[in-house]
Structure 1
Amino acid sequence: MLGIAAASAGFVGTMLPSAPARAIVVFDPSNYSQNLLTAARTLQQVNNQIRSLQNQAQSLINQARNLATINFPEIQAITSTLQQIDLLMGQAQGIQFRVDGLDQQFRQLFPQSFNQALTMNGQVVAARTRLDTEMTAYKQTMGVQAQVVENVQADAQTLGGIVSRSQGAEGALQAQQATNQLLALTAKQQFQIQNLMAAQYRAQTIEQARRAQAEIDARAATTKFLGSGSAYTPQ
């Protein structure tokens, strides 16, 4: 019986399959925390790098804005108006706006001495020449004044355009350029005012010189008419 039981047990053991061995998973909380902390730090470094790249990109954009330029189409109009003023100033007759030859021109027109050999017709012609020179000077002054008034009307539009670009300046360079444009407009206005004053003073000077010359000629003519004062000698 014992033998039969042993044989049966052996037979059953050969008939039943053996159970496979299973691995036991071991969870380490400290190692998991360390890995999680490392991942968080890595993510923070990536975020920092992204922010740095964003800041660099914004810095490049700002630099591009600071280096951006603006056009100044009014500079041609400003130069053209100054050339028109110069053209009018160059039309001065009799006594021109040039240092070379100024003394000679002034002496010819205003000799400040009465030439006794000059005929009455010659005296009239000389006086007429001085009067014509005076009238021409005032006409030239009025031409400069009219041109300045037209320029002021055009400058109002120019100023509006410059101010608009100044307010819309994106960077430091554009703001500086707008400032330079305003300074150019101011300088142009000062130049034309100086020319206007020069033309006005020239006309006034010619008028005063003509009056002074007329007085000199009148005194000389009176002296010539009266003679030495001893034309009649009593006997």
Structure 2
Amino acid sequence: MTEKSFPLWTEFFGRKSEKHFRLGVLLTSAMLAVGGAFSSLRPAHAQWAVYDGANHVQNVLIAARTLQQIDNQITSLANQAQMLVNQAKNLATLPLSTLSTLQSTISQTTALLAQAQNIAYSVQSVEQQYQQSYTSVSSGMSDSALFSQAQTRWQNSVGGFEDALKLQARVVGNIPSDSSAMTQLVSASQTSTGALQAAQAGNQLLALQSRQLSDIQAELAANGRASALERARNAATEAESEAQYQHFSQYNAYSPTSVSMFGSSGN
């Protein structure tokens, strides 16, 4: 092969290589274009096949937190409902009431005190009766007047003791009803469903104790009245004895006279 023919071969092979290069570029471009076309024609759900673990974990955590918040809200609502139930129990009133019984007992005791004989439980009555029958005794009074006042004082003392005995019987008669009321109130307090019922039971127990104290006070007053009347009668009796002695001492002294005995006259 001559030097003249070498450039010919070089040109030939150069042209062949360039042609092949151009064909390769065209084929590559075509394949990319076809691939892009097919990729655009694929359905969208084909992309879901890709699994993202981090995203899945994040979604699970969000769902767990949401469930925890819902559970907390449910617990809070349950607590509020229980609080309302407890408030309703605390506001429930006590079905038991002993007020009418206590008022009736107090009325009976008051009626007995109002029935006090001769000298009533009144400052004005005491001053008037005491002045007339206990401090007005004097030596200038007649025997009949002294006797009348003594009779009045004795009746006052007897009436005072009778009044005290009646009141004592009334107080003793209240004991069974007081025991029954106390048992009911203590039971109601122990089985109360709320604070209001317990407080009402306690208040009624205090009212029962107050009524019992009023009975004791009335009994002490009746006993004191009877004792005071008797002491006043004793003091007035001493004054009456002094007045009777004064009456007796006002008569003339004894003077001897002749007495006839066995039908004889003379000494």
TM-score using structure 2 length: 0.74
- Residue 59 of structure 1 aligns to which amino acid in structure 2? M
Task: Verify the 8 A CA contact 2:117 2:160 in the aligned structure 1.
Answer: yes
TM alignment of 1:85-104, pairs within 5 A: 85-104=109-128
Q: 1:126 aligns with which of 142, 149, 155?
A: 149
Aligned partner of 2:86 among 62, 68, 89:
62
Which of the residues 144, 168, 178 maps onto 1:155? 178
CA displacement 1:100-144 (0-9 Å, x = unmatched): 2321121112134225342x3333222122111111111111110
Stretches (4+) displaced over 3 A: none
Partner of residue 221 from structure 2, selected from 192, 195, 198: 198
Query: Between Structure 1 and Structure 2, whose CA radius of gyration is higher?
Result: 2
Query: Alpha-carbon deviations, 1:18-58, whole Å to 9, x = none?
Result: xx967351111111111111111111011000000001011
Q: Which residue of 2 aligns with 1:227?
A: 250
Give me the CA root mean square deviation.
2.1
Q: Aligned residue pairs: how many?
A: 212
Per-residue Cα deviation, 1:157-183 (whole angstroms, up to 9, x for no partner)? 000000001101222212211111111
- The amino acid across from 1:153 in the alignment is P
TM normalised by structure 1 equals 0.84
Equivalent residues of 1:112, 1:216 under 8 A apart: no
CA distance in 1, matches of 2:61, 2:155: 102
Instruction: Report the counterpart of residue 73 of structure 2 in structure 1.
Output: 49
Gaps of 5+ in 2: 1-40, 255-267
Aligned match of 1:168: 191
| Unmatched 5+ stretches in structure 1 | 1-19
119, 123, 135: which is aligned to 2:158? Answer: 135
Equivalent of residue 144 in structure 1, options 160, 163, 167:
167
Greater relative CO, 1 or 2 (CA 8 Å, sep 6+): 1
Cα offset, 1:69, TM superposition: 1.2
